[in-house]
Amino acid sequence: MTALSLLFWLLFIAVAASGFATVLARNLLYAALGLALTLLGTAGLFLLLHADFLAAVQVLVYVGGITVLILFALVLSADVLKKRDAPDRVNLFLGAVTAAGTFFFLAREAVRVAQRLPAAVGGFQPTTAHLGELLLGKYVLPFEIASVVLVVTMVGAVMILRKELEG
Amino acid sequence: MNAALQLLRELGLPGGAPVVILAALAATGPVVLAVLTLAGFQVYIERKVCAFMQNRIGPLHCGPQGLLQFTADGVKLLLKEDLMPAKADAFLFRLAPYVVMTAALLPLAAIPLAAALTVTDLDTGVFFVMAASAPGVIGLLVAGWASNNKWSLIGGLRTAAQVASYGVPAGLAVLSVALVAGTLNLRNIVEMQRGHLLLWNIGNPILLAAFLLYLTASVAECNRTPFDLPEAESELAAGFHTEYSGLRFGFFFAAEYTMMFVVSAVAVSLFLGGYHLPFGNSWLARHADLAGRAVLAGAHGAGAMALLAGLAIGSWAVAPTRLGFLWRAIERIPRKGVLFLGTGAAVALGVFFIAPAAGPRLVMAAGNAVGTVAGERAGTFAATLIRLPLRFASYGVPAVHLAVFLGKTLMLLFVIMWLRWTFPRMRIDRMMDLCWKRLVPAGFAIFAAAAFWLVIRSTP
C-alpha cells in the first residue's frame, strides 16, 4: 500500500465517520461540527486528486463560511440541547429510501464517469492559473451569470428580511 | 520543504512518500517553533510598548530589562491548574483550543520567509493562507458555546460575526493585489517587488489604499483593540476564553499572537516587498556571503544565549517545587566557575564560527609538518567536518532575507500594538457599520480602481 492510498483510506474513514456523526448525532451542534469535518475531509480528497485550488475553495467557503453560519444560528437557539425523539417509522423509512436511492444513482454515475476519464497523469500540476484562464476566458458567460444570480439572491434575501422587520 | 528534500537527497536517503512527509515535518517544525517563540516574545514587546505609551516601565525584573518575562510566564501557564466548568461540554471545551491553534499555525506553510526559504511554494498562495485560517472561527465559537456561560457565548458569537464580516474587506484588498500581480503565489508576488522602495506594491497609490484597508480588516480579524469586542472585559469578563485556564488559555493566547504574526507577514509579503531590502538589492547579491555569515553568527549567538538564559530562568521559576535540586546544584558552583563556564561558552561559539576559515588549514598544515598518513587523514577529516558550517554560510542571502522579513513584520506588529494602546474600543453596532457601510464599499472601489489602472497600463 503506497502512502497515497493510505492517506486516501484515512480520509475516507474520516469523511464516512463524520458523515454518519452528522446524521446520527442527537446534539445539533455536534451534527454541525460533523458536517464541518466531512467538508474538511472532502477538501483532503480534492487535494489527493491534485485539485489544490478546489480544496482551498472548499475550506474557505464551506468550512469557514457556511458551517460558521450554521453554527452561528444553532448557538443562538436554546433548542440545541433539547432531547429529541427518535424519528417515527414512516419518516425513517422514507429517509432511508431517499438516501439509498441518492447513493445508488450517484455511485452509478461516479463509476460511469471514472471509466471515461483518462488515466492518471503523473506528477502534480498546479491548477490555479489554468482554472483562472478557463473561468475568465472560455466559461466567462456562465461564470458571470452565476455571479449575477448570487447577487440577486443576496439582495432578495435582504429585501424579504427588511419587509418582515418593517411589517 | 524543497531545501529539506534536497538536504535529504544529499544525505543519501531514499525518496518516496514517507521521506517526503518526514522532510515536510522537518521543514515545518522549526518554523512553527520559531513562530511560537516569537509569539511569546511578542507578549514582552506588547507589554513594553503599552508601558511606554502609558508612561510606565513595564516588565523589568526577569532578566535584563525584563527580557525573559515571557519564559517565566510560559512556565507559569504550564503549571497552573486546568479548570473546566462542571456543566461545560467537556469534549468540545477541550477540542476548541486545538482547532484555534491549528488554524493559526497552518497559514505559515505558504508564507515566503526568504527567496530560498518558503516552506511550501504554493500556487494557491495567499488564497491558501486565507482558507487555512478560516476554520479558526469555528474553534472560537465552539469555545464560547462549550463553556456554558452567557458571556463566553456572546464573545464567541461576536467573534464569528466579526471575522465573517471583516473577511470581506480583507479579501477585497488581497484580491486587488492579486489582480495587479496576476498571480496568487506569494513568492511570485514578492519577487515582483524586487528593486527599491517605490517598486513595492505600497508605492502604488491604489495598493497603498488596499494596504490600509487590509491592515484595518486584519486587526479586526485578530480580535484586537479597537475591535476586541469578543473579549471586551468591561462587558463580557473575558469573552470566549473566560472559563479557560492554564495551558488551554495559553493556547488561545499564543494563537492570537500567532494570528497577528501571520497577518503582518502576509501584509509584508503583499504590500511591503516581502523579504527584499528597500534598496541595495544588487549590493546584497554581491556581499551576501559576508552579510549572511554576520547575520547567522549573530543569530546563533543570540539563540545560544537565549537558550542558556531561558533554561536558567525556567529553573528559577520552578525552583521551589520541581527542579530545586538543579537550582541548588547551580548555586553550589562558585562564582569563578560561572565565569569559567561563560567564557567557555563564548570561546566555543567563537571557535564554531572561526573554525571554518582557519581550522582545516591549521590541521592540514600540522599534518603536513608531521608528514605522516595519520596527519593527512586528520586534515581531510577536519576539512569534511568543517564543510558543514560553510554550507550554512552559503545560505547568506536567505539569512539576510529572513532578517529583513522579520524586521518588517516586527515593525508592522508594532503598528498593530500602537493601534491597540491608542484607540478606545468601538461599540458593536458601530463596528459592524464600519465594516459593511464603509470598508466593503471602499474595498470594491479599490478593486475597481486596480482593474481600471491595469487596463490603462496595458493600453499604450
Q: What is the pLDDT of residues A48-67, one digit of tens each?
A: 877 888 888 888 888 888 88
Has the ipTM of the complex gone over 0.90? no
Count of CB atoms within 10 A of residue B94's CB? 14
Q: Which of B18, B156, B160 sits opposite A3 (nearest CB)?
A: B18
- Chain A residues near residue B145 by CB distance under 8 angstroms: 29, 75
Q: Is the pLDDT of residue B157 over 80?
A: yes
As given in the structure block, the three cell numbers for residue B281 are 538589492
Look at B9 and A28; give whichever has higher pLDDT: A28
How many separate helices (H) and strands (E) can be counted in chain B? 18, 0
Look at A67 and B338; give whichever has higher pLDDT: A67
Reported as a pLDDT band with limits 50, 70 and 90, residue B305 is low
Q: Is the pLDDT of residue B368 over 70?
A: no
Compute the distance between CA of residue A101 and CA of residue A85 in angstroms, rounded to an integer. 25
| pLDDT score at B445 | 93
Chain B residue closest in CA terms to A7:
B17
**Cβ–Cβ contact A17 with B under 8 A:** no
Min Cα–Cα distance to chain A from B160, Å:
7
| pLDDT score at B213 | 92
Q: Which of A2, A60, A128 sits opposite B184 (nearest CB)?
A: A128
Count of CB atoms within 10 A of residue B201's CB? 24
| pLDDT score at B406 | 85
> Could A3 and B141 be called an inter-chain contact, meaning their C-beta atoms sit closer than 8 Å?
no
Chain B residue closest in CA terms to A59:
B131
- For B80, residues 6+ apart whose C-beta sits below 8 A from its C-beta are B245, B246, B247
Q: Which of A30, A69, A75 sits opposite B153 (nearest CB)?
A: A75
| Residue-wise pLDDT tens digits, A4-38 | 778 888 889 999 999 988 888 878 888 888 999 99
What is the value of pTM for the model shown? 0.75
| pLDDT score at A161 | 85
**Cβ–Cβ contact A141 with B under 8 A:** no
| Residue-wise pLDDT tens digits, A92-148 | 889 889 989 999 999 998 888 877 776 665 566 677 778 888 888 889 999 999 999
> Could A72 and B161 be called an inter-chain contact, meaning their C-beta atoms sit closer than 8 Å?
yes
> Environment class of residue B140 by beta-carbon count within 10 Å: exposed (0-12), middle (13-18) or buried (19+)?
buried
Q: A-B interface: how many C-beta pairs under 8 angstroms?
A: 81
CB B52 within 8 A of CB B207: no
| pLDDT score at B11 | 46
DSSP labels for B239-265? GGGTT--HHHHHHHHHHHHHHHHHHHH
Give the distance from CA B399 to its chain's centroid: 15
| pLDDT score at A146 | 93
The full length of chain B comes to 460
| pLDDT score at A17 | 92
Among A50, A68, A80, A158, the residue to mutate for chain B (most B Cβ within 10 A): A68
> What is the overall mean pLDDT for chain B?
75
> What is the overall mean pLDDT for chain A?
83
- Rounded average pLDDT over B46-54: 85
> Could A75 and B123 be called an inter-chain contact, meaning their C-beta atoms sit closer than 8 Å?
no
- Between helix B69-79 and helix B17-53 the angle, nearest 10°, is 110
Buried b (16+ CB within 10 A) or exposed e, A132-147: eeeeeeeeeeeeeeee
Reported as a pLDDT band with limits 50, 70 and 90, residue A156 is very high
- Rounded average pLDDT over B142-163: 84
As given in the structure block, the three cell numbers for residue B131 are 482558507
- Chain B residues near residue A129 by CB distance under 8 angstroms: 123, 183
- The share of chain B scoring above pLDDT 90, in percent, equals 5
Compute the distance between CA of residue B128 and CA of residue B371 in angstroms, rounded to an integer. 61
